[in-house]
């Protein structure tokens, strides 16, 4: 009997949940925030050691977590005023909304 050719297995894409809007996305589509010994920092590589939380790269999601204490709960820490200001400054560099999605639902057309 001849061996049947197997189709290649699809590559595993790690999934993460945005702590602001609770939408599930691929890990690379989100930005990681990490609690380190020095404080809370943005982790663009996604590889820093420490407790992390993921957010969409849009101001809408960042405003939600900075408005309340959701980031404090996710990282199990209390944000210092300096850490909070650093996150606000980073948020200002992000676009206000994502052009491809609106409230987690893709636009058609």
Residue-wise pLDDT tens digits, 50-96: 999 999 999 999 999 999 889 999 999 999 999 999 999 999 999 98
Domains and CATH numbers, the chain: 15-98 (3.30.1230.10)
- Dist CA 81 CA 79 (whole Å): 6
Q: Residues 10-63: pLDDT tens digits?
A: 899 999 999 999 999 999 999 999 999 999 999 989 899 999 999 999 999 999
């Amino acid at each position: 009997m001849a061996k049947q050719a197997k189709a290649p297995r699809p590559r595993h894409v790690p999934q993460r949940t945005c702590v602001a809007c609770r939408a599930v996305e691929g890990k690379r589509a989100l930005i990681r925030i990490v609690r380190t010994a020095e404080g809370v920092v943005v982790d663009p590589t996604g590889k820093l050691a420490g407790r992390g939380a993921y957010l969409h790269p849009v101001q809408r999601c960042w405003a939600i977590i900075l408005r309340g204490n959701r980031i404090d709960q996710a990282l199990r820490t209390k944000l210092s005023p300096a850490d909070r200001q650093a996150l606000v400054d980073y948020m200002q560099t992000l676009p206000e909304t994502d052009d491809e999605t609106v409230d987690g639902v893709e636009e058609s057309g």
